[in-house]
Chains A and B, each alone.
Chain A
């Protein structure tokens, strides 16, 4: 409608209420339960396997510029770099956006510094800005994977058609691959060539799970409650329509 009807105003108050209260609660330190994402439990196994075969680890940040998606990916990268630093393994990070390079460098150095291994690997050969052109980016990273015989390949963030080039190159090199992306169109290509694929809202859940940022975690929980309300409405509406065949009461109420 041009202006909000009564049901829409109720929905807006309800959903905003859920989201804002959950953000405030998590800011005040209330411990919030987030179920672990099954694809991400195997990150440690992937790094362990790569360390056994003494093959490097690669972490792709996708095509995101400064945005919520980039911060989710960087949170997971921080975790991976710390785990790899403990086993003194290098982590290669190819990048597609100049602004993302600066942020990634910061996270990368913190990870190694936290494990007391600052000087172990040179930043220049681990972090490299490839190109903002999708086909050049895909070809460049595919070549890098094959040349360095990468052992574990993590693909986080949004991707275009270059997702195919990376997934196929990684699969050819026999790497253990985990993909986690909100872009729904590339999920089929990841699904058939990666060992684990995480997609849709789970990408944001992964970001929240690793960096425990109160705003992101709180809003995720608030969104869950909103989706629960909508789910109950759907089940109720279908039941009512099946019982009262003639008039669809809940639909008329919502579209008042």
Chain B
């Protein structure tokens, strides 16, 4: 305790404590609750249920277009959202196509790893039940217009270099009219202008799984019907994983559920620390005023 700290009042010392103490306490909270995976009641946001019901009633003869654009930074949130939805699609035998962008090649690699893992477990075949396109340059709306009008002509090959024409599943999916739902998993759901160039033009429903930060910008679009579902952060992933587990599709607990149970206590720690520091400020002000009168 430095000399200058000693004569300060107790509340001032609390208010301006050394950040290393905070880091240490926070690390303890996270490590303890990481070891002890506490079973928590997973929240149930409205828009997660709406996306689940929509995938439950999707027509089997159309495909789902998944835009996998999340990066290494938001694996904690978006990987759970991506994995839970493809497990649900596999269990309902709905075919899906995964689009990736050259501006974020990590999304392609991470998506590929998750896809291979889940396909191996649910014995699905690349080219018959799912396909991953090769990366496309995100040049804004003009790219989406060409993609919507002619998928084969624009994408040309899948990630393994096979022509889309020879892939058995792609025979009856040529334009956006054969797509029943677009689902974008990314840090920022608005990064690719699906709403301006595809959803409002062809009426294809659009759902989004986004990092917590950007999910708050999605609510005006949910209210106006331009977005038909939203998975917000790790909590959204956990809610969808709970539904998938209850439907008996996969026994293992998902990434979102594990993250969310530790995150609850971390959030509680941050909220309590903010309240303490504000309380300390009021107390030291109050003591200061009492000392002056």
Direct A–B contact in the complex, CB atoms closer than 8 angstroms: yes
Q: Which residues of A contact B (CB under 8 A)?
A: 1-2, 185
| 5 A–B contacts from the bound complex (CB under 8 Å) | A1-B200, A1-B201, A2-B201, A2-B202, A185-B213
B-side interface residues, number (CB < 8 Å): 4
Q: Specify the chain B residue showing the minimal Cβ separation from A192.
A: B274
What A residues does B200 contact at CB under 8 A? 1
Q: Specify the chain A residue showing the minimal Cβ separation from B19.
A: A168
Q: Specify the chain A residue showing the minimal Cβ separation from B202.
A: A2
Give CA–CA (A1, B202) in the complex, Å: 8
A-contact bits for B186-230, CB 8 A (1 contact / 0 none) = 000000000000001110000000000100000000000000000
Give CA–CA (A2, B213) in the complex, Å: 31
Give CA–CA (A2, B201) in the complex, Å: 5
Q: Specify the chain B residue showing the minimal Cβ separation from A184.
A: B217
Give CA–CA (A185, B190) in the complex, Å: 14
What B residues does A185 contact at CB under 8 A? 213
The B interface is mostly helix, strand or loop, or mixed, namely helix
What A residues does B201 contact at CB under 8 A? 1-2
User: How far does the Cβ of B20 sit from chain A's closest Cβ, in whole Å?
Assistant: 15
User: How far does the Cβ of B193 sit from chain A's closest Cβ, in whole Å?
Assistant: 14
Give CA–CA (A134, B202) in the complex, Å: 40
Nearest first, the 5 closest Cβ-Cβ pairs linking A and B are A2-B201, A1-B201, A185-B213, A1-B200, A2-B202
Give CA–CA (A2, B196) in the complex, Å: 10
Q: Specify the chain B residue showing the minimal Cβ separation from A185.
A: B213
Q: Specify the chain A residue showing the minimal Cβ separation from B16.
A: A172
What A residues does B213 contact at CB under 8 A? 185
What B residues does A1 contact at CB under 8 A? 200-201
Q: Specify the chain A residue showing the minimal Cβ separation from B197.
A: A2
Q: Specify the chain B residue showing the minimal Cβ separation from A2.
A: B201
What B residues does A2 contact at CB under 8 A? 201-202
Give CA–CA (A2, B200) in the complex, Å: 8
User: How far does the Cβ of A123 sit from chain B's closest Cβ, in whole Å?
Assistant: 35
What A residues does B202 contact at CB under 8 A? 2
User: How far does the Cβ of B21 sit from chain A's closest Cβ, in whole Å?
Assistant: 17
User: How far does the Cβ of B110 sit from chain A's closest Cβ, in whole Å?
Assistant: 22
Give CA–CA (A2, B202) in the complex, Å: 8
Q: Specify the chain B residue showing the minimal Cβ separation from A1.
A: B201
Give CA–CA (A62, B202) in the complex, Å: 40
User: How far does the Cβ of B165 sit from chain A's closest Cβ, in whole Å?
Assistant: 26
User: How far does the Cβ of B199 sit from chain A's closest Cβ, in whole Å?
Assistant: 12
User: How far does the Cβ of B92 sit from chain A's closest Cβ, in whole Å?
Assistant: 31
Give CA–CA (A215, B148) in the complex, Å: 37
Give CA–CA (A80, B27) in the complex, Å: 43
A-contact bits for B90-111, CB 8 A (1 contact / 0 none) = 0000000000000000000000
Give CA–CA (A2, B198) in the complex, Å: 9
Q: Specify the chain A residue showing the minimal Cβ separation from B145.
A: A2
Give CA–CA (A185, B200) in the complex, Å: 27
A-contact bits for B5-45, CB 8 A (1 contact / 0 none) = 00000000000000000000000000000000000000000
User: How far does the Cβ of A16 sit from chain B's closest Cβ, in whole Å?
Assistant: 18
Give CA–CA (A37, B201) in the complex, Å: 39
User: How far does the Cβ of B15 sit from chain A's closest Cβ, in whole Å?
Assistant: 12
A-contact bits for B167-202, CB 8 A (1 contact / 0 none) = 000000000000000000000000000000000111
User: How far does the Cβ of B249 sit from chain A's closest Cβ, in whole Å?
Assistant: 35
Give CA–CA (A185, B201) in the complex, Å: 30
Give CA–CA (A185, B215) in the complex, Å: 12
User: How far does the Cβ of B88 sit from chain A's closest Cβ, in whole Å?
Assistant: 31
Q: Specify the chain B residue showing the minimal Cβ separation from A172.
A: B16
Give CA–CA (A94, B46) in the complex, Å: 46
Q: Specify the chain B residue showing the minimal Cβ separation from A168.
A: B19
Give CA–CA (A2, B148) in the complex, Å: 11
User: How far does the Cβ of A213 sit from chain B's closest Cβ, in whole Å?
Assistant: 27
Give CA–CA (A185, B212) in the complex, Å: 12
Give CA–CA (A161, B201) in the complex, Å: 36
